[in-house]
Every structure is written in C-alpha cells, then in structure tokens.
Structure 1
Amino acid sequence: MKLGYHIGYWSSGPPHGALETILEAERLGFDSVWTAEAYGSDAFTPLAWWGSSTSTVRLGTNIVQMSARTPTATAMSALSLDHLSGGRFVLGLGASGPQVVEGWYGRPYPRPLARTREYIDIVRQVFAREAPVTYDGDFFQLPYRGGAGLGKPLKPTVHPLRAELPIYLAAEGPKNVALSAEIADGWLPMFFSPRSNEFYRDALAEGFARPGARRGWEDFEVPASVPLIVDDDVEQCADLIRPSLALYIGGMGAKQMNFHRDVFARLGYEETATKVQELYLAGHKKDAAAAIPTKLVEDIALIGPPAKIRDELQAWRETVVTSLLLRGDASLLRKAAEIVS
C-alpha cells in the first residue's frame, strides 16, 4: 500500500512547516502530495509553490471544487501544472455541497452527477487537443448559447504534456462513487472504513461494468485520506480527531442534506450522527465532539501505539484503497513510514 501526504485545508494562513514536511515525504518515498480547498486557500497555488521544490512525488488536488471554475479554466491550470511538474500532476475534482456551491460560489447545486459528467467531458476535450472545444450540454455550452453571439470554438494554445492526464473524482454516495469508476481514473474517498469496503466495492463494480468505462480494478486508484496518530493513549488520540468529525457530521452541510453525516449513518452510527448534528447545529460544538464514541473514530482512523496500528493496517490492505493519505508533521510521516513498511 502506497503512502501520500495530504496538506489539507489552511486555517487562518499557510500551515507551518508545510514545505519541510513535503520534502520529508518525498525523501521517505511517499507516492504523492495533495492540497485542498473549500472557501479559503485554493488548491492549485500551494501545490505549484511547494511542489516546485520536489522532483519525484506526484502532485494532486484533493479536491478542486468544480463550481469554483469553468471546465476550461480548470483544464488550463491542470495543463500548466502538468508541464511545470514534468508530468506529475493529478487532477482531483469534486462537486462539494450546496452550502458552499450556492453560498460561496453563487452557482446552482441541483443535479451534481449530471453536471460532473459534462464538466469532465469538457476537461478531457481540452487535454486531448484534437479539435476546437465545443459542447452543447444542459449545464455548459461552448460557445456560449446567447450573449453577444460572437463566441468561437477554440483549441488550447498549450500542447498537453499528456493527453491522458489523470482525473480522480471525490465522492461519498454510491451513485457518485459508481460515476467515478465509470468516467474517472481514480476515486478520492473521505471517511473510508474497512467495514464499508463491500458497499464501496459494489458501487465501483457497477461503474466499471458500464459501457465505455475507462478503467477496471487493475488500473484504478483509490487514495483515501486516513487520520493517523501514533501514541500509547488511544483516548487522547481520539480526542484530537473528534472535533473535526463533529464539524463534518454536524456542520458541513444542512440538516436535511449532509453527505458526511450519511457516511456514518450507513456505517451503523445513525443515532450518534443525529445526536452530533443536533448538538453542533445548536451551537454545542464541544458536546457534539464528546458524543462521538472512540469506536467510530477507530473505524475511519489509525490511532494508538505502533503495534495496534500495524495490526489494524491488515484490514486496510484488504480493501479497495490503494494509498493512505496522511496528515501531520514530518515526525508523524517518519513514524508512519516505519509502521507501514
């Protein structure tokens, strides 16, 4: 199983020591480095800045939010980064959720799967550079339908370094996971658990079986973000993760539509997820975090002393996951490399 380093979201500013940790990840033989975006820092700029100091790790976005940019603008950034990195770039895309899409980007959210399909179709046209890009979809039209009426089909001036530049799709629900297997080169799960492996394996298999599917089990990547904390005190480890889980289960989505909450409900924590959401939305964030049982944390994270983590890793090795994406400082990455090797 490969290892990757996920820088994650910025808080009020750039994460301290990010470049040093990235360089350590490369020195340790990590396969990839990933950035994120929500409604603060973007995913492309930090990857280009810090990635310019690397030479071997793959550089990926986990994830670029599709509503933030037109498909052609995203394709331009991807082409540029792939050239500058010598063919090491991976374009990770995601639909995000209605709160961010409509509240921050001012774009409509309905029918995200159909919108994703059109978006990736256009991006791949740009990457292929076989003809001027045209599209007549429900969500995107090139040239634009209406306006001045003077739009002209265009081809990118930049020749792609790779026409088959990889696209990974972030997804949590079964329909979106199946879509990733059908039209993408990889799936970026969030809050994956070995106990949910068969559920996701079935969703991926459905996508692979569709006519025109790009990949199969043998060449499809599944890099999963997995919290890993090495310490003899398991409860103390869990306490470090609980606030983040409370945020996602309780606050990263509306009460009637929260995809992160749904992940834990499917995992068997329906009652807990409901309680956490109610507490968090009522402003009781600490109580919401405290309501998360250690077992739930252990289902989606690797925490505790090295021997415990080594034992639990076997279950992860038997899943669809191909890479573990870790967060933390250089010291944690060194411990992780030793444990996983």
Structure 2
Amino acid sequence: MTTPPLGRFGIWTGVLDGVPLGEAREVVAELDEQGWGSLWFGEAYGREAMTAAQAWLGASRRMAIGTGIASIYARDAVSTAAAARTLEAAYPGRFVLGLGVSHAPLVERMRGHSYGRPVTAMREFLDALDRAPAAVPGEQSLPPVVLAALGPRMLGLARDRTAGAHPYLVTPEYTAGARAELGAGPLLVVEQAAVVDPDADGDEWRRRAHDHLNIYTGLPNYRGSWVRQGFSDDDFVRGGSDRLKAALVTHGLETTVARAHEHLDAGADTVLIQVLGPAVAVPPRSDWAALAHALL
C-alpha cells in the first residue's frame, strides 16, 4: 500500500452527480489539467462510489481520486475490498478508499439497513476488510484507507487501523485537535467549503452557505461534532446561524486561500476545497480555475 501524492490542495465536490457522465468526465479532466493534487466526492443519492471512482480515474491522468466517503452500508467488506483492489491494480497509487458510517436517515430510510453504533460498526467493517480474500492474481494490494472521523473515538480508530482521517465541515481549530489525536504519522485530509465567485455579495454567500448546510444541520453526527467545536443549539437552525456559516463556509478568494493555509498550519496534510457555485448541479468551472491560479 503506497499513499498517493495528494499534494497540499485538492477539490471536494458533489456536483458531478448532477451532470451526465460524459460532461462529468470532461470536468474531471479539466481539474486534472489545473494541477489539483486530488479529487474527492461523496456517496449519498447519486452514483455508486466505486464505479464513479473508476470513471474519474479513467478521465484523469495524474491526480489522485478519493471517496469522501464510500458508505460501509452501501456494500459489504468483501465487495469493497474486491473493488478497491481492482482500482489499485488498474491505477496504481492513485486511489484512496475513504470509508464512513454515513447517517441514520440515509442508511435506514433509503437503504433499509439498521444503523449501528458508529465506531463499533466501523471497527467490525475494518475487521472484515482485513479478512476479505485477495484471490485475483495481481490484485492483492488494497489502496490506502482513511476514515470519515469527527469524534475522538473515530479519530483513534483511524489512527490505529488506517492511513488516516478525512474530516468534513470542520474548522482549523478542529484540525489542530485532530492532528494532536492522530499524531505525526497518519494522513489528515480536511474539507473546506467556500464561495469564491467574485460576483457573490454577502446575501448570495449567505444563500449558498444556507443551501449547503441545510441538510447537515439536521443530522445528529454533524451537530455532535459542532458541539465539540464550540457551537450550540442556537447555531443549528436549518441552514445554520450566521456564526456557523462564517465558520464553515468562506466568502471570497483571498479569505478561502487564507483559510486553506490555516488548516495546513494546524496540521492538515491536504485541504480539499468544496467550491459552492450558484446551483448544485452546475460545475463552478471558472471558480475552480481562479482558485487553482491562487493556490497552485
């Protein structure tokens, strides 16, 4: 298992699920040409994570592709290991398997599974992943695994059992605490949401931040994480208080660049910028290009 060279800055996006496959592949190739170290995406209502990873790996030449995250309830550990080993063999050193426990509404209402205790469920999945047979010649190696870790127990599991952690919707102060929990060795790949559109005034930034946080403010896993980060119930109105918005979604190119470096200074190995465009299904191509020019 060789950890891909992720670089200091990458892109996190959910927008690819909103466009046809051919256009999405063109977008991925464009991001690759811009020089981003890695591209990460989630798994909820859109494409299945492992087939999407194969499509994005095939559409790019050099940047790493990471699942941020692949739900452990979407496929069993044997299937996950088999798919991950095939991707590692096909694109050596370019794939990172990010795993997470997702959220009870998605797991129970949409998938029809029982949502277990997060750390216990993840530990058992990692045990099964370790036991999964590697029967295909030339496909024995798993790619690096990182965990969607928010709380201290999941960070500890990421430290002890995997290559590192991939926290989402966190502040630089959280990043510093996560680095202390992980120690010096494991990867720490953090996500940072941003509105960098030069035409987005304060009201437009607030609208995009509200739309982005609207679902997350209703999910207990994130609310618990934000309490540990110093926020309170007053901040958890749907879409988030202005205080929560300002902490989690930057406004403007210069502020975004500065926040990304704050995460690096706090101990992140890689910062993934999630650019919020005017609509969730429209790739913010000009914003990505401007951000690449500023950061890369």
Q: After superposition, what is the alpha-carbon deviation per residue over 1:138-173, rounded to whole angstroms, capped at 9, x for unaligned?
A: xxxxxxxxxxxxxxxxx5224326x35200111222
* 1:203 matches 2:181: yes
Q: Which of 130, 136, 143 is the matching residue for 1:124? A: 130
The 3-state SS of whatever aligns with 1:223 is: strand
Matched with 2:109 is: 103
Q: Is the 8 A contact 1:170 1:189 kept in 2?
A: yes
Q: Which range moved further: 93-102 or 262-271? A: 262-271
* Structure 2 unpaired stretches of 5+: 1-6, 276-283
* Structure 2 CA distance for partners of 1:64 and 1:160, relative to 1, 3 Å: same
* 1:241 matches 2:205: no
Q: Which of 240, 254, 272 is the matching residue for 2:234? A: 272
Q: Is the 8 A contact 1:167 1:184 kept in 2?
A: yes
The 3-state SS of whatever aligns with 2:66 is: strand
Q: Which of 243, 249, 271 is the matching residue for 1:324? A: 271
Q: Distance in 2 between matches of 1:116 and 1:68?
A: 13
Matched with 1:33 is: 39
Q: After superposition, what is the alpha-carbon deviation per residue over 1:203-249, rounded to whole angstroms, capped at 9, x for unaligned?
A: 324xxxxxxxxxxx24x222222112223634422321112212111
The 3-state SS of whatever aligns with 2:187 is: coil
Q: Is the 8 A contact 1:8 1:35 kept in 2?
A: yes
1:105 Cα deviation (Å)?
2.6
Matched with 1:340 is: 295
1:115 Cα deviation (Å)?
2.5
Q: Distance in 2 between matches of 1:299 and 1:91?
A: 28
The 3-state SS of whatever aligns with 1:67 is: coil
Matched with 2:24 is: 18
1:13 Cα deviation (Å)?
5.7
Q: After superposition, what is the alpha-carbon deviation per residue over 1:287-323, rounded to whole angstroms, capped at 9, x for unaligned?
A: x33x620x3223223322x333344444222112222
Q: Distance in 2 between matches of 1:270 and 1:75?
A: 39
Q: Distance in 2 between matches of 1:120 and 1:197?
A: 24
The 3-state SS of whatever aligns with 2:113 is: coil
Identity, % of aligned positions: 25
Q: Distance in 1 between matches of 2:195 and 2:64?
A: 24
Quick one: which amino acid aligns to residue 295 of structure 2? V
Q: Distance in 2 between matches of 1:36 and 1:312?
A: 22
Matched with 2:241 is: 292
Matched with 2:99 is: 93
Q: After superposition, what is the alpha-carbon deviation per residue over 1:184-206, rounded to whole angstroms, capped at 9, x for unaligned?
A: 1021101110132343234324x
Q: Which of structures 1 and 2 has the bigger CA Rg?
A: 1
Q: Which of 194, 199, 216 is the matching residue for 1:228? A: 194
Matches within 5 A, 1:9-88: 14=20, 17-88=23-94
Quick one: which amino acid aligns to residue 326 of structure 1? I
The 3-state SS of whatever aligns with 2:80 is: helix
The 3-state SS of whatever aligns with 1:92 is: strand
The 3-state SS of whatever aligns with 1:156 is: coil
Q: CA RMSD in A?
A: 2.5
Q: What is the TM-score of this pair, normalised by structure 2?
A: 0.84
The 3-state SS of whatever aligns with 2:231 is: helix
Q: Is the 8 A contact 1:195 1:299 kept in 2?
A: no
* Alignment coverage as a number of residue pairs: 280
Q: Distance in 2 between matches of 1:308 and 1:34?
A: 22
Q: Is the 8 A contact 1:35 1:60 kept in 2?
A: yes
* Structure 2 CA distance for partners of 1:177 and 1:83, relative to 1, 3 Å: same
Q: Is the 8 A contact 1:5 1:22 kept in 2?
A: no
Matched with 1:284 is: none
1:84 Cα deviation (Å)?
2.0
Matches within 5 A, 1:130-149: 133=133
Quick one: which amino acid aligns to residue 325 of structure 1? L
Matched with 1:144 is: none
The 3-state SS of whatever aligns with 1:200 is: helix
Quick one: which amino acid aligns to residue 181 of structure 2? A
Q: Distance in 2 between matches of 1:35 and 1:310?
A: 21
* Structure 2 CA distance for partners of 1:332 and 1:13, relative to 1, 3 Å: closer
Q: Distance in 2 between matches of 1:246 and 1:266?
A: 20
* Structure 2 CA distance for partners of 1:268 and 1:59, relative to 1, 3 Å: same
Q: Distance in 2 between matches of 1:109 and 1:177?
A: 20
Q: Is the 8 A contact 2:179 2:268 kept in 1?
A: no
Q: Distance in 1 between matches of 2:30 and 2:17?
A: 22
